Each structure stands twice: as C-alpha cells, then as structure tokens.
Amino acid sequence: MATKPSFSEEVSNLMHASHGNPLKTCVQCGTCSGTCPVAEFMDHTPRCLIGMINANLKEEVLESNTFWYCASCFHCTVRCPKEIDIAGLMYSLKRYSIWKHTYPEGAIGPVFSETFVKSILRSGRSYEPVLAPTYIFSYGVREFLNEAHTATNLMLKGRLPVLPPRIKRLENFKKMANKIIPMGGA
Amino acid sequence: MRTYSYFPGCSLEKMAMSYHQSAMQTTNKIGVELKEIEDWNCCGATTYFHVDELLAYTLVARNLAIAEKMGHDLVAPCSACYKNTYFGSAYLKEDQDLSDHINYALEADNLHYSGSIEVKHLMEVFVDDVGLEEIKSKITHPLEGLRVAPYYGCQIVRPRKDHEDVENPQFFEDLMSTVGADPVDFTYRLRCCGGSLIITSREAALSLVRDLLQSAVYSDADVIATACPLCQTNLECYQMTVNREFGTDFSIPIMYFTQLLGLSMGLPPKKLGIGTEFVSADRILTFAKEKV
Ligand code: SF4
Ligand code: SF4
C-alpha cells in the first residue's frame, strides 16, 4: 500500500538544487542560528525550524515567518558542520508556501516575489517602479512616501529609468518560458 | 587582449550605471575587453528562486547560451547575477536531464548551452586573470592614506564554489592595497546587507544596514568599497533612512571597487560615474595624488 510522505520528506523532496545533506542529519548544534544575521527577527531560529520540520510540525512550520525573513546570505550553509543547505531549505519553504498559498495575510514577501516574476516574464528585465504597488498595499502610505522619496531622488540623479526596459527577442523569450511552464495561449 | 562576454544585469543599466562606467574604463586600461551579451535577460535576482527553480535556471541558461555563442567566458559585475549564473552553469554541466530539458526550451530562441564556458565575477578578472602585479603597473595616482572598508557581502564568496576560504578571504584587501589604500580591519565585511529584505522586511534590512555602517565607522574607514550593486544601493540609498529611523548621523561614501581603482589609475572622476551619489564622494577624490 502506498504511504503518504511525511512533511519532512515532502520538504526534503522540494530541495531540488540543494546539494546539501538531508535535514535528518541535523544535530541541532545551533551554528546556523548563531550565524544568522536576522535570527532576532524570526519567530523560530533556523535550528528550531529544522527541528520542527524533522518532528513533522507542518502547520507550525508553515505559519512561521522564519523563511520569509531569510535574506539568502548563505552564511549558515557554509558553516553547518553537517553540510546541510539551510539557505536552500528556506527557498523551498518559500516556494512551498506560495504554491499552497499558506503564507500569512498581508505578508509582503510572496507578493513581491510574484510581482517580480510577472514583471520579468513580461519584459525580460526587472524594473523597480513596477514593484511600487506592493508597498502601498502592505506598508501604508507613510512608508510608501518614504520609498517614493528615495525613488524620486534616484530619478533626479538619473539612476532610475523612466520607461521599463525590455529585451528585443521578447516573443522568443516568452515561448521559451512557455516550454518550461506551459501557460496556455501566448 | 583578454575578451569576455559581459553580463551587466538589470541594476547596471541605470541604478548602478556608475559601476558599469567605471568597469568599462578600468578594464580598458588593463587590456581587458568586456563585450556586452547581446539581448541578455534578467538573471532572476534572489527572488525568482522563491517561485520556480526550473524557470530560474532557464533564464540563466539563455544568457549563458548567448555568451557561449560569442565564444568567451561570462563575467558579471553584480554578485547576485554572478552567483545565479555560476551555479546555473554548474548544475547544467553536471545534470544531463536538466540540461536536456532546458536546452529544449532554449530552442524557442534558437539557442543551445553546451557548458563550455566559465563564469566569473568582475573582481576575479582583475585579481586572478589579470593579476595584481599587472594592475600595479597601471597605478599612477595611488590612494595613499585612504582608509577603505572592503565589503565582500555574501554572494561573491558564498555559497562555496570550490575550496576557497569563505571565512577569511583576502582578495579584496589585497586589491585595495594594490591601489595604494589602507584596507581597515572591518568586522562585518562578510555580513549580509539585507538584499531584497529592504523591500520585504524593511525593519530587518535597515538594522543590518545600520550594523554595517556602524562597523565601518568603528574601524575609522573613510569609505566602504563594494563589488555589488545591491550592497551599494542598500548601504547608500538607505543611509538617510537609517539616520532617520535610528537617530544616527552616518555620512560615509559607498563606492564601487572599480571607482577606487579608476581614481588610482588617474581616470577623471566623471568618467567613473562619480557625482551621482547621495553621500558625496568628493572627499575621497583628494586622496588620488600623482606619484612623484
Ligand atoms: S548548523 Fe547544521 S547541524 Fe547545526 S543546527 Fe543548524 S542545520 Fe543543524
Ligand atoms: S541564509 Fe537565511 S537563514 Fe541562513 S544565515 Fe542567511 S539569512 Fe539566516
């Protein structure tokens, strides 16, 4: 009879590109948490989160803000004595929660990621001002104006483009993306 | 003459134009030609991998394929572009299935990546390919007495690529000594600038930026040198925001290593894109004095 994979197996399977050792080998030494520059902002430290995954605490893990605070700095990854790719794990948890739509209401990380991806698929290049609406919805007006202030200064210094850049062979580019993820139509 | 396929990346088009200008000027001085990859696309930054890994590698592969067609190794000045492209290429080289699948998608743009080229960060071109001796011979205006905090950040050294020293790299210090400056003991030189957290988790990112600026000030640095447009933007464009939110009064210029290199080669500041920064770099210019 087929058995359903446990949450920790599911997460391990998601870590495609990660060449690190399995999460099961974690010895809970805490090197990753001690190294992480944003640990103080996370509700669970990286060590703790890995412990939770290994204990199959699925709901608690998905509710955690830990992986959305990860800056992908890879400091934990290069220091882990068990050679676990913790940064790679944080990426997989972001993907998992975007797919399953389990991220907390109002979280800006997933919205930002999705907006960013859409903007690249539309033009082939990234363009910061397109991302502005993410601010308004998630931060409120004051913070947005702060950002707008920075943006205006950048424009005045000629450091922000006025029009979104795009690549030339955009049609081929879109066809290429479609061969990887068929999106119908286009 | 050494020639490379050059992948500027989205930031260098405008935001970090000064990095692009100074890269072009300084490489030109040492007999290196950077040929821009024709019709390159975004590398996916640190964000794309949150959504879809396979598509992220496909984006990277398109640039690699064009670079390969041009017949030169790929060089990226942005640390995030470098890391994505480096590992994208490495995975494609070792995983035949991945390579087959992605090459099938690349056919849509009449491209193919066979994995015959290397991927380098711009700083590697200077330090490893050209070499410090050669660079030294081009220094006419050594930056004597300039205290530089060499800021590595993350992705130029991490994750580990080979057997390099990820805990105590020295190449940035060595390069700064070569231009005549004094690299200071900068405690947070390998710590993260926050990257895209500046958008998604602003409070956390601003505190990282504050810690970094503080660390540089403790070491009595005149300037922080960077090798990445994301680090430069976070440390410079958000310096005022940090001052506002934390009641600090930081005012430390953040310059690309290529700008410092250019000054030491006697290149005019304007050609190196100096003058478009928020925290003025004027004070730094006075250090570039002609050798007597
Ligand atoms: S550093 Fe590695 S072994 Fe230690 S707690 Fe973190 S993941 Fe586990
Ligand atoms: S990669 Fe993420 S979890 Fe690891 S140290 Fe950096 S911020 Fe912390």
What does the alpha-carbon distance between residue B51 and residue B34 come to, in Å, rounded to a whole number? 32
Residue A135 and residue A54 share a domain: no
In a domain, A2, yes or no: no
The answer, yes or no, to whether residue A131 has pLDDT greater than 80, is no
The distance of Cα B139 from the centroid of its chain, to the nearest Å, equals: 21
Query: What distance in Å separates the CA atoms of residue A9 and residue A144, rounded to the nearest whole number?
Result: 41
- In this structure, the answer to whether residues A87 and A165 fall within a common structural domain is no
Residue A132 lies in a domain: yes
If you take atom 7 of ligand 1, which residue's CA is the nearest one? A26
Ligand 1 within 6 A of A21 CB? no
Average pLDDT of chain A to the nearest whole number: 77
Conformation bin of residue A4: beta by default, left when phi > 0, alpha when psi is -120 to 50: beta
B2-122: CATH, from 1.20.1050.140, 3.30.70.260, 2.40.50.100, 2.60.120.330: 1.20.1050.140
Same domain, A93 and A125: no
- Residues A44 and A68 grouped into a single domain: yes
> Quick one: average pLDDT of B5-20?
86
**pLDDT of A150 higher than 70:** no
The answer to whether residue B287 scores a pLDDT higher than 70 is yes
pLDDT band (50, 70, 90) for residue A185 = very low
Which residue, A100, A133, A149, sits at the end of a domain?
A: A100
CA of B104 to the centre of ligand 2 (A): 34
Is residue B245 over pLDDT 70?
Answer: yes
Number of domains in chain A: 2
Region B136-144: mean pLDDT is 97
Given A98, A159, A181, which is nearest B15 (Cβ)?
A159
Range of the domain at A142: 108-180
Whether A85 and A46 map to the same domain: the answer is yes
Look at A136 and B172; give whichever has higher pLDDT: B172
The predicted structure's pLDDT at residue B197: 85
Could you tell me the distance, in angstroms and rounded to a whole number, from the CA of residue A73 to the centre of ligand 2?
5
Looking at residue A156, its pLDDT comes to: 58
Task: Tell me which residue in B15, B42, B192 faces A124 most closely, judged by beta carbons.
Answer: B42
| Cα–Cα distance for residue pair B84/B45, rounded to 1 Å | 7
Domain boundary among A76, A100, A124: A100
Contact yes or no for A38/B208 (Cβ under 8 A): yes
User: Global pTM?
Assistant: 0.88
Tokens of A112: 């930002």
Q: Which residue owns the Cα nearest ligand 1 atom 4?
A: A29
Question: Measured between CB atoms, does B168 come within 8 Å of chain A?
Answer: no
pLDDT at B163: 81
A13 part of a folded domain? yes
Q: Is A47 in the pocket of ligand 1 (CB under 6 A)?
A: yes
Ligand 1 midpoint to CA A9 (Å):
18
**Interface mutation target, options B17, B201, B202, chain A, most CBs of A under 10 Å:** B201
3-class SS letters over chain A: CCCCCCHHHHHHHHCCCCCCCCHHHCCCCCHHHHHCCCHHHCCCCHHHHHHHHHCCCHHHHHHCCHHHHCCCCCHHHHHCCCCCCHHHHHHHHHHHHHHHCCCCCCCHHHHHHHHHHHHHHHHCCCCHHHHHHHHHHHHCHHHHHHHHHHHHHHHHCCCCCCCCCCCCCHHHHHHHHHHHCCCCCC
Average pLDDT of the segment spanning B74-96: 93
Class in CATH terms, B138-285: alpha beta
Q: What is the mean pLDDT of residues A112-135?
A: 62
Domain definitions of chain B by residue range? 2-122, 138-285
Give me the percent of chain A exceeding a pLDDT of 90: 33
Cis-peptide, bond into residue B159, ω within 30° of zero:
yes
Q: Answer yes or no: do A61 and A84 share one domain.
A: yes
Determine the residue among A121, A159, A163 to mutate to test chain B binding: the one whose Cβ has the most chain B Cβ atoms within 10 Å: A159
Mean pLDDT, residues B166-179 taken together: 97
User: Cα separation of A76 and B273, whole Å?
Assistant: 36
Any domain includes A29:
yes
Q: Is the complex ipTM higher than 0.85?
A: yes
Q: Grade residue A133 by pLDDT with cuts at 50, 70 and 90.
A: very low
* Least-confidence region, from A80-89, B4-13, B211-220, B275-284: B4-13
Binding-site residues, ligand 2, Cβ < 6 A? A 35-36, 38, 46, 70-76, 86-87, 90
Ligand 1 nearest-atom number relative to CA A83? 2
Let me know whether A14 and A52 are in one domain: yes
